Amino acid sequence: MFLLLLTLAVLLLLVWVYVRWCKVRRYWADRGVPFAPPNPLLGNLTFLQRYNSGIWMRNLYQSYRSPYVGIWLFWRPALVVNSVEIGRRILVSDAAFFRDRFVTSGDSDPIGKYNLFTVKEPVWSSLRRRLTPVFTAAKLRSMHDFVTMKTQELMQRIQNDMTENQCVNLRKAFTDYTTDVIGGVSLGFVGDATLSGRGPLRTVTQQFMDYDFFRGVSWVLLFFWPSWANFFGLTAFPKKSIEILTRVYQTALVQRGGYETEVKETRDLLDALIKIKQDCARDNEDMPDEKLLAHAAVFVQGGFDTTASILSWCIYELAFRTEIQDNMYMELVDLQKDKEELKDIDLGSLSNLSYLNAVIDETLRKYVVMGWIDRVANHDYQIDEHLTVPAGTPVYVNAAGIQSDPDIYPEPDKFWPERFLECDVNRSAMPVWTFGEGPRSCIGRRFALINLRCAVAYMVVTYKFRPLAATPPPSRVQVERHSLFYAPGEPLFIDFELRK
C-alpha cells in the first residue's frame, strides 16, 4: 500500500512538473514575442561555463534580428532588448521604471548585497549621492599625479619584463598596474604591484580573477537566480580575499585617524566611507563596517579587472596594426611639441586627442566588458504597442549584440578607430555602452577613461609593440569562459621595442 501511494505521488508530481513546464515554455509564444527555445532545466543558460556570455549575446542578436527576444533564466522568463531606441528608453528616459539591477546577493553575503553595483532602491540613490563627490572634475584632476607616477612605473615594468623574458604578458602586467592605481585612488593604499607583481591588495585581486567551477556557479546564480544564491549562502567574493581586503581597509582607516577624524573634504572613496559612517552615527542609523567594506570591494573589482582587460585587448590589437600606432604617436608628438616627456602634459589634455579617444572608443565597442546591461521592471512597462512586461521581469539590454551590428558599425569585427572620426558621425546612433547608460551607469566612468588614456598614451610614446611569432590574431584569441566579464581566456604575449 505504501509503495502504491508513493508511486502515485511521484506520478502526480511528474504530471504537475510537466504541466508547469508546458505553461512556462509557452510564456513568450502566448505574447507573440520571438524567443530562443529553452532547455527544460537551464532555460537558455546552457552556454554557461562553456563560452563567454558576451559571445552568447552576440549570437542571440544575430539569430533573432528583432527589437527584442524572449529567454528563460532557468524557468523564469526574461527579455533581451536588441533595439537601440528601446534600450535607451529603458536605461535613460524611462529609468524610473527600471531602478534596480536584477543581480543581487543574500543576507548571508553583506559584501555582495550592499555594494553600489547590486544594492536596491531607495538605498542606492542615497549611496550614489554620497559617493558622487569622489569623482568630480576637481577630484579627478587631483588624482593625475598619482596615476602618472604609476604609469611611469608601468613603463619600467615593461622594460624589466622585456629584459628578463623578451616579451610581456599583457594581462598580468596590466592587472598589477591597475591594482596599484585603484588601491591608491580609492583607499589611499600605495602598493608596489606594478613593479613587483606582489602585495596584499594584489593577492586580493588575483583571487578576484580566479573563477573556478564553484565560483563560476556562484556568479551564475547571483546574476540569474539570486534567490537560490541566497538559499545556498553563496558569496560574490572569495572569503579569503575579503579577509585580506578587510586588513588593507583597516590599515588605511587607521592611517586616516579612524572614523573619529572629521572629514572636511572628500578626497577619495575612503574619505567618503568615513563620512557615511559619521553621518549615520549622528542620525542614530546603524552602519556596520561590512556595508562600507562592500563598496571598497566592488570598487576594487570594477576598477582593476575591467580596465586591465580593456588595456590588454587594446594593446594586443595595436600590436597587429602598426599604422594605428603611428597615427597615435604623431598625434601625441604634436601635443608634446617642445616638451621632452609626456609627464609635462596635463592628463586632462589627452581627452582632446581625437585619434587616441577613437582608439579607446573602438576598443570599448569591440570588447564590451559585460555583454548586457541588466535591469528589473519595478512596474508593468509597455515596451511597444505589442508588448507590456509585468513588474519583476528581468530585462537585458544587449550591449554586445548592438555594438557588433553591421548596420550600425560596418565591418564590426574589424578594429577600425576611424569609424568614430567621420565628420558625419551621429554618436547617438552609435552607442558604446561599456560603462552602462543613464542614472545607474558606472560611477567611475570618467576615472576609468583617464586611466586608459594615460596608460595607452604612455605606451605609444615610449614603445612600439609587435606580435610574437605564432601568436593568434585578435579574432582568434580565446575568451574567458568561466567569468561573466569579456576578458582574454589565454595569456597575451607581445614584444615591446623602445622608441628612439
Q: Which residues are annotated as a binding site for heme?
A: 442
Per residue, the 3-state secondary structure of 219-285, as one string, reads HHHHHHCHHHHHHCCCCCCCHHHHHHHHHHHHHHHHHCCCCCCCCCCCCCHHHHHHHHHHHHHHCCC
Give the span between the Cα atoms of 223 and 43, in whole angstroms: 14
Please give the annotated binding residues, written as ranges: 442
Going 32 to 34 to 37 to 42, the CA torsion angle's sign is negative
The DSSP secondary-structure symbol of 497 reads E
- The CA-atom distances, in angstroms, between 469 and each of 60, 158, 168, 314, 422 are 35, 19, 14, 19, 34
What residues contact residue 132 under an 8 Å CB cut-off, 6+ apart?
Answer: 443
Give the span between the Cα atoms of 318 and 311, in whole angstroms: 10
CB-facing half-sphere around the CA of 368: CA atoms within 13 A: 27
Give the span between the Cα atoms of 213 and 483, in whole angstroms: 10
**Strand-strand pairing, 76-81 and 394-397:** parallel
Q: Are 168 and 158 in contact (CB under 8 A)?
A: yes
- The CA-atom distances, in angstroms, between 498 and each of 167, 332, 462, 493, 495 are 13, 16, 6, 16, 10
- DSSP assignment of 302-334, as one string? HHHHHHHHHHHHHHHHHHT-HHHHHHHHHHHHH
The three-point CA angle 391-397-398 to 5° equals 145
Q: Could you give the 3-state DSSP secondary structure of residue 118?
A: coil
Residue type, 401: G
What residues contact residue 476 under an 8 Å CB cut-off, 6+ apart?
Answer: none
Q: Are 432 and 426 in contact (CB under 8 A)?
A: no
What residues contact residue 72 under an 8 Å CB cut-off, 6+ apart?
Answer: 24, 25, 27, 38, 43, 44, 78
The three-point CA angle 320-322-326 to 5° equals 150
- Rounded to a whole number of angstroms, the distance between the first and last alpha carbons of the chain is 91
Q: Are 346 and 142 in contact (CB under 8 A)?
A: no
Q: Are 181 and 277 in contact (CB under 8 A)?
A: no
Q: Could you give the 3-state DSSP secondary structure of residue 390?
A: coil
